[in-house]
Structure 1
Amino acid sequence: TQVCSSQGKMTTDREITVDDESAAAFVTSHGIDITPNKDQGVIKVVKRLGVDGERPMIGDKVYVHYTGKLLNGKKFDSSLDRKQPFSFNLGKGQVIKAWDVGVASMQRGEVCLFLCKPEYAYGTTGSPRKIAPNSSLLFEVELLSFKGEELTEDGGIVRRIKVKGQGFRYPNVGATVSVHLQGSCDGKIFDSRDVSFVVGEGDDVNVPLGVDRAMEKMQEGECCLLYLKPKYGFGKEGCPNLNIGPNAELMYEVTLHSFQKAKESWEMDVKEKLALAMQVKQKGTQYFKAGRYPQAVIQYQRIVSWLEIECLLDDEQQSPVRDILLVAQLNLALCHLRLREYTCAVHNCNKAIELDERSEKALYRRGEARLLCNEFSLAMDDFQRVLQVNPSNRAARTQISVCQQKIREHHERDKKIYANMFQKFAERDAKVQLASPLVAVMSLRGLIVCMLSLVLQILTDTSSHEVGRPLHNVSSDSHVDSVGDPSEQHMIMRLTKETTTKMAISP
C-alpha cells in the first residue's frame, strides 16, 4: 500500500529494509526523483514521516543514522553498528552528492530510502575494498536533528542559508557591501531596509556586530538567517534608535546584493599600508572611546595583518612600521582587558614586548592580565620589570603589594587544607593503632609525605594555579595609545575597592 504524503513524497506502510533485495526495485517503481535536474539520480521513498514541517538549510549541522547497502543486499556501512549518529554540514560537499540532495528534503524524525546512481554516490572510482566503481547504492536514512551553522566559537552567531550565493568570492574587512536586512526581536520586525556599509564599521549605521562579522562568510546573492546572542547584537546597552532594549536576542534575514572588496595586504606597498594604518588607528580609537571594544579590535587587527610581516624588512621604513605596530598591539591588549579576554591580552602584550622589550605599557598590561588570571607570581614579575623601566611607577608598586597579598592568602588556604588532612590522619591513626601496627605505620608514612608536600608547596611558586574566580577588583582604565602624542593622559588603575592610583606612561 502506498500513500502520497502532504509533501508530495511517496510513502509506504510496507515493511521495507535495506536487507530486502526487492527494495531497490520498489524504490525505483514507487519513489520520486528529488534531484534538481530530474535526472533520476536520487529516488526517494519515505518510510516514516517527520514530526514537523521544517527542513534543514544549507550549512546546517545535521545528525543522522544510516545504513548503506549495495543493490545485492550487502551492507557496506552503518552508523547503527557504531551506535553513534553521523553528523555533517549540509550542502558543503562534505558527503556524497546524494546525501546533500536527499537530506535537504527531509524533516526531523523522518526515515526514508534513497536509491542513488553512481554519479551521485562514489562515481567511477568507488570506495576501495567496499564499493566497486560505477555502483548504484541504497541508503536508509533517519534525520535525528539539525541546527544552524555556528560562525563563532561561542555560538553567538548562528547562520542558516535560505538561498545559496554565487561564485567563490567573499567580502573582507574594509569591503563596501550593499545588503537588504530585516531584523526581528521576539517575533516583531524592528528594522527593514536596504543599506550600504563598510565591513567592520557596521556600527556606524546601526548594523549589529553579528551581522557585520557574518559578511565575511557570505557570497554575492546569498540570503541567510542570522541568530544573534546579545553579545553580537546590541549588547547590554540596546539600541534606542531601533527600540531594542538591553540584552536582547535578535534574528536578522540578510541578503547580500553586491560588494566591493578592500585591497588585500599584498596589493599595497609599505607607504600605502602606513597611510591606511593611521586612518584605521583613528577609527579604532573612536570606537574605543565610545566603549565599542569589539569594533575597535577589528580595526587594530587590520593594522597587525598589514604590518606584521613588514617588520622583517631591513630598510628605512622599518622604524615607523614598528612604531604603529607597537601601538596596535598595545591597544589590542587594552581592548581585550576591557572585554575580559585575558589570554588574548597576554598574547598582544607578548607581541608588543617582542617589538620593545622595555615597553612599560606592555609589561604593565601583561601584569594586569596575569593578575586577573590569578597568575600572581608571573604578574608580580611583570610589575617588577615595570619598576626596572620606571622606578617611579607607583601603580606597579601597589600591584606588587596586591600580588604578594594574594600569594599569602593562597598559601594560607593551602595550610588550612593540609591541616584538615593531618587532623583526619590523626583521628584514623587513633582508631587503628591498637588493631594493626602495620596500618599505623602506613598512616604515619602518609602523614610524613603530606608534611613534606606542604613544605615544598610553600617553598615553591604556586601562584600560577587558578584559585577561585578571577579578581574583578583590578581593572585598567588607561586610554588607548597614540604615536607621537605628547598629551597622553595617565593610566588610572582601580587596584582595590579602597585604593585608586594613577600610572604615568610616556607617549
Structure 2
Amino acid sequence: MEDDFEIPAAGKLEGSEEEEEDSGEIGMEKEIGKDGLKKKILKEGDGYETPITGDEVEVHYVGSLLDGTRFDSSFDRDLPFKFKLGLGHVIQGWDDGIKTMKKGEKAVFTIPPALAYGDSGSPPTIPPNATLQFEIELISWTKVKDICKDGGILKTILTEGENWQTPKDPDEVLVKYEARHDDGSLVSKSEEVEFIVKDGCFCPAFSRVVKTMKKGEKCILTVKPQYAFGEKGREPEGGNECGVPPNTSLQITLELVSWKTVSEVTTDNKVLKKILKEGEGYDRPNDGAVVQVKLIGKLQDGTVFVKKGYDEVPFEFKIDEEQVIDGLDRGVKTMKKGEVSLLTIHPEYAFGLTESHQESATVPANSTVYYDVELISFEKEKDMWELTAEEKIETSGRKKEEGNSLFKKQKYERASKRYEKALSFIEYDSAFSEDEKQQAKLLKISCNLNNAACKLKLRDYKQAVKLCTKVLDADSKNVKALYRRAQAYIQLVDPDLAEMDIKKALDIDPDNRDVKLEYKLLREKVKEYNKKDAQFYGNIFAKMNKLEHLNSANGARKQEVGPMTIDSKA
C-alpha cells in the first residue's frame, strides 16, 4: 500500500452495492484471529480456494476512517492494486484478511491500530491509533510457489505447462531464460540452452526450479542471492549484459521448452537410457520376448562399430537369451514400441576388459559404448496366466534346461534366476491333475537343488541351506540335498549340523563317493577347528596364568612395603 494517499470524496466501493442477501455469512460481521480484525462479507466469491503466503493478489479497495472519511481508493487511479501476500508488503490486517477471501469476493474489514499504522498513524491522512475500514474486492491471484521453503526462490507461473510429468535429476532439459536486476537491467539471456538437471545452468536456482516445471511451462522467478551468485557475484560476459554484484537478487523469466528423460536401467547406474522419442502405450518386452530393432553402436569418439536393422529387415533378437550384450538386452527391455533411445553402457555390461572385434570397428578393452536404438515391434513371451497347466510344466522344464546351460558356462547368477523363473510357473498347482502335480513336484525338487548348487558357487550359504531344506521337506531322503546342505553348513562353521546331514546321506547311500569325500573334508575341518580352538584357549590360559603370577608378585611386594604405606601413628 502507498503512504501518500489521496483523499477522495466519501462513498462506497465503485461499481458495487452492498448486497444484504440472506445468504449464510453475508452481512454478518465475524472476528478473524485474536487480534481484533473483523470481516463482513458483502458478496460471496467463487469456489473454495483462497490465496496463501507468497501468492500475487490483485484487488480493488476503498479505505476509510470510522467516521466515514475516505483516504484512499484504487478506483480513483483506475488501476487494481497488486502485491505479494503475507510478505509484509502491506499492513498486517490486509495480509491476514485477504488470506480468508475467495476469488470475486467483496468484504469490509475493520482493522484495529495494532494491525494497521499503530501509534504513529500515517500523516497527514491517518491519525495515530486509528481503526480503519477497508472495503476490498479480490479480483484474482497468481499462485506463487516457495521452491525451497525459505523464501529464496519464489516462482510465479505465467503459462501453465502440459500433462503432469516434471524432469528429474538425470534428465536433459531444454530451456529459454532471461535474467534481470530489480531495476530491469539485463544480466543474461538465452534463446535455448540444454543441460542435465542435476548439473544445473547459469545459477543454482535453475536445477531446483526445473524439477517443479511441466513441458511448455513459463514462469517468473524471484531469486535471492544464495540461489543466484551469492557473495562473489558474477562478472559481465560481454554484449549488452551486465554483471551481478555480490549479494544481489535477480528476476528471471524461465521457460521449459522440452526435456529428454534419462533413467537408470541398472541400480549401479552403469546402464543409462535417454529417451529421444517417446513410444506408444505402456507395454514393454518381457524376458523371452522377440524384439525387432534398428540400432547403431558407437564409441565415445563417435566411431560406429555396428549398424543393424537399417536394411529391409529389422534386427531381431530374444530378450534374456544373451544374443546381444547385457546392457543392450536390459535397455531394450525397458522400451515401448516406437520408442527411440540412447543407451550409455559401461564396460561391465558391454564388452568388458577384453578387446572386441565388431562389424565396422574394434571396441577397445574397458570401453563405454553408446547405442541409438529404435524399438520397431516386439512379441512378448506368454504371461503365466495365459498358459494351460501343460504349457506351464513345459515352460518350467525349458527354463530349467536354460539354467542348466548357464550353469555349465559358469554363469551362476543368471542360472539361479532362470531356476527361480522356472519355479514361478509351477508354484501354484491347485488346478493341476495328479499326474501334473507329480511332474511339478519333480521339477521343483530339481530346480531347488540346482539353484542350491548356484548359491554354493556364489557363496550364499544361508540361501543354499534354505533351498536344500525345501527339497528335504518334499523328499526327506534326497541325498543331493543332504550333501549340498552339509557343504553349506561346513562353510557356515556348523560342523555338528553338517555331520548329521552327511551321516544321514551315508545311511541312505553308503557307497556315494561325493558324500564320502565331503565327510573326509568335514573331519579335516573339525580337526582344524579343534586345533585353532586349542591354540586360542591355550593362549587365553597362558595369559591368565601370567596375569595370576603377576598379581601374586604384586601382592608379595605390597606385603614387603606394607608398614611404610600406613599411618605410623595408628
TM range (shorter): 0.5 to 0.7
TM-superposed CA distance for 1:264, in Å, is: 0.9
Change (3 A) 1:200 1:297: farther
Match of 1:199 in 2: 319
Cα deviation, residue 272, structure 1:
1.5
Query: How many angstroms does 1:390 deviate by?
Result: 1.6
Matched residue SS, 1:253: strand
Match of 2:329 in 1: 212
- 2:371 corresponds to which of 232, 253, 267: 253
| SS at 1:272 equivalent | helix
CA distance in 1, matches of 2:370, 2:210: 39
Aligned twin of 1:324: 443
Per-residue deviation, residues 127-149 of structure 1 (Å, max 9, x unmatched): xxxxxxxxx9979669xxxxx96
Change (3 A) 1:109 1:280: same
Q: In the alignment, is the contact (CA less than 8 A) between 1:41 and 1:120 conserved in 2?
A: no
Alignment of 1:350 onto 2:465: no
Structure 1 position 374, deviation (Å)? 4.4
Over 3 Å counting, the alpha-carbon distance change for 1:388 and 1:426 in structure 2 is same
The answer on whether the counterparts of 1:311 and 1:322 sit within 8 Å (CA) in structure 2 is no
Change (3 A) 1:370 1:252: farther
Counterpart-to-counterpart distance in 1, 2:408 and 2:425: 24
Give me the identity figure in percent. Answer: 24
Q: Tell me by how many angstroms 1:321 deviates.
A: 1.5
Q: 1:357 to 1:89 in 2, by over 3 A?
A: farther
8 Å contact kept, 2:353–2:365: yes
**In 1, Cα distance between the equivalents of 2:471 and 2:334?**
30
Instruction: Provide the TM-score with structure 2 as the length reference.
Output: 0.48
Counterpart of 1:309 in 2: which secondary structure?
A: coil
Contact 2:265 2:331 in 1 (8 A): yes
Shift of 1:413: 1.6
The 1:89/1:356 distance shift into structure 2, 3 A limit, reads: farther
How many angstroms apart in 2 are the aligned matches of 1:385 and 1:192?
59
Secondary structure class of the residue paired with 1:69: coil
In structure 2, stretches of 5+ residues that fail to align are 1-86, 90-141, 155-167, 172-193, 215-220, 229-261, 310-314, 559-570
Q: 1:276-295 counterparts in 2 under 5 A?
A: 276-295=395-414
Match for 2:320: what amino acid?
Answer: G
- Counterparts of 2:440 and 2:297, CA distance in 1: 41
TM-score norm. by structure 1 comes to 0.53
Q: Output the CA distance in 2 between the equivalents of 1:432 and 1:332.
A: 58
Structure of greater Rg? 2
1:394 aligns with 2:509: no
Aligned amino acid, residue 368 of structure 1: Q
Bigger relative contact order, structure 1 or 2 (CA pairs below 8 A, ≥6 apart)? 1
SS of residue in 1 equivalent to 2:517? helix
Q: Which residue of 1 aligns with 2:290?
A: 176
Q: 1:43-78 CA distances to partner (integer Å, 9 max, x unpaired)?
A: 99xxxxxxxxxxxxxxxxxxxxx94334899xxxxx
3-state secondary structure, aligned to 1:163: strand
Distance 1:430 1:355 in 2: 60
Q: Which amino acid aligns with 2:319?
A: V
The verdict on how the C-alpha distance between 1:111 and 1:267 changes in structure 2, with shifts beyond 3 A counting, is same
Which of the numbers 142, 148, 161 marks the counterpart of 2:274? 161
Q: Distance in 1 between matches of 2:433 and 2:222?
A: 61
**Alignment match, 1:410:** 529
The secondary structure found in structure 2 opposite 1:255 is strand
Alpha-carbon offset, residue 385 of structure 1: 2.8
CA distance in 2 between counterparts of 1:106 and 1:179 reads 31
SS of equivalent to 1:68: coil
Deviates more, 1:309-318 or 1:254-263: 309-318
Partner of 2:149: 68
Q: Is the 8 A contact 2:354 2:366 kept in 1?
A: no
Q: Distance in 2 between matches of 1:72 and 1:113?
A: 7
Structure-to-structure mapping, 1:110-189, within 5 angstroms: 111-113=203-205, 120=213, 151-152=265-266, 155=268, 157-163=270-276, 165-166=278-279, 167-183=281-297
Q: Distance in 2 between matches of 1:269 and 1:160?
A: 36
CA RMSD, aligned part only? 4.7
**Cross-structure match for 2:175:** none
CA gap of 1:137–1:393, structure 2 versus 1, over 3 A, is: farther
**SS where residue 286 of structure 2 aligns?**
coil
SS at structure 1 position matched to 2:306? strand
- CA displacement at 1:357 relative to structure 2: 2.7
Q: d(CA) in 1 for partners of 2:364 and 2:463? A: 26
C-alpha distance 304-117 of structure 1, shift in aligned 2 (>3 A): closer
Change (3 A) 1:152 1:385: farther
Count of aligned positions: 335
Distance in 1, matches of 2:544 and 2:515, equals 44
Instruction: Please state how far the C-alpha of 1:21 moved relative to its aligned partner.
Output: 9.4
Which whole-Å CA distance do the structure 1 matches of 2:386 and 2:346 have between them? Answer: 34
Give the AA of the match of 1:217.
Answer: T
Residue identity matched to 2:149: G
> What secondary structure sits across from 1:392 in the alignment?
coil
Task: Spell out the pairing of 1:416-455 with structure 2 (5 A cutoff).
Answer: 416-435=535-554
> 1:263 is matched with which residue?
382
| Alpha-carbon distance in 2 for matches of 1:112, 1:337 | 50
After TM superposition, list the pairs within 5 Å mapping 1:86-101 onto structure 2: 90=170
- Separation in structure 2 between the aligned mates of residue 340 and residue 181 of structure 1, nearest angstrom: 38
Shift of 1:268: 1.1
CA distance in 1, matches of 2:548, 2:227: 63
